[in-house]
Amino acid sequence: MESESLWTIFINASLVNNFVLAYFLGICPFLGVSSKIETASRMGAAVTFVMLVSSVCAFGIQALLVAIDAPYLKLISFIAVIASTVQLVEMFIKKVSPALFRSLGIFLPLITTNCAILGLALFQTNKGYSFVQCIVYALGAGVGFTLALVLMAGLREKLELAEVPDVTKGTAMALMIAGLLSVTFMGFGGLGG
């Protein structure tokens, strides 16, 4: 895997294998907070940040677990570390920048149960990335998540004004749009090589 260039990893994680539209990770926030572009982009930023931090942590844990020969603790320690990272990040942001903290609001604690974060940690260990590759991978995944969320929010803002049959209102409509977006993203296939 060492041969994979950083640029390839980035493009793969953000466009070709987009976490939301190709791996179906983080669907809950994708459907839940994608009704306005502004909240969507904030959520995306928060998720990207937590992804970066937890990716670095997961790399450390994996090295430690390999050293003490206890792979069965992987899942439990990952989720525990992600939960406490989110808590830590929350306290840190609150102290350093109260304005940013207020604008992120409830989204920060919710990130704990976002499967994209845990998925990222698991994928990067499965792929055996090096430290730098992990960081680029996390960055790409975060950018991809934000992109999908913002695109979705833009579409849903427009759709507010459209007339649709009663049965399709709500989640069913959101899923259909997501399906179309997913088809669109398939067009990026082959880009990462």
Contact (CB, 8 A) for 33 and 107: yes
Give exposure, 35-62, as e/b (b: 16+ Cβ within 10 Å).
eebebbebbbbbbbbbbbbbbebbbebb
Of 82 and 139, CB closest to another protein: 82
Residue 179 contacts another protein per CB under 8 A? yes
Residue 164 contacts another protein per CB under 8 A? no
Q: Which of 5, 7, 28, 92 binds another protein (CB under 8 A)?
A: 28
Q: How far is the CB of 193 from another protein (least distance, A)?
A: 20
Q: What's the Cα-to-Cα distance from 119 to each of 32, 55, 106, 158, 191, rounded to whole Å? A: 19, 10, 22, 31, 23
Footprint of another protein on 32-71 (CB under 8 A): none
Site string for another protein, 81-120 (x = CB under 8 A): --x-----------------------------xxx--xx-
Q: What's the Cα-to-Cα distance from 76 to each of 6, 93, 96, 111, 134, rounded to whole Å? A: 29, 26, 30, 17, 20
Of 3-11, 25-33, 51-59, 98-106: span binding another protein (CB under 8 A): 25-33
Residue 123 contacts another protein per CB under 8 A? yes
Residue 130, number of CB atoms within 10 A of its CB: 13
Binding-site ranges for another protein (CB under 8 A)? 21-28, 31, 72, 75-76, 79-80, 83, 113-115, 118-119, 122-123, 126, 166-168, 170-173, 175-176, 178-180, 182-183, 186
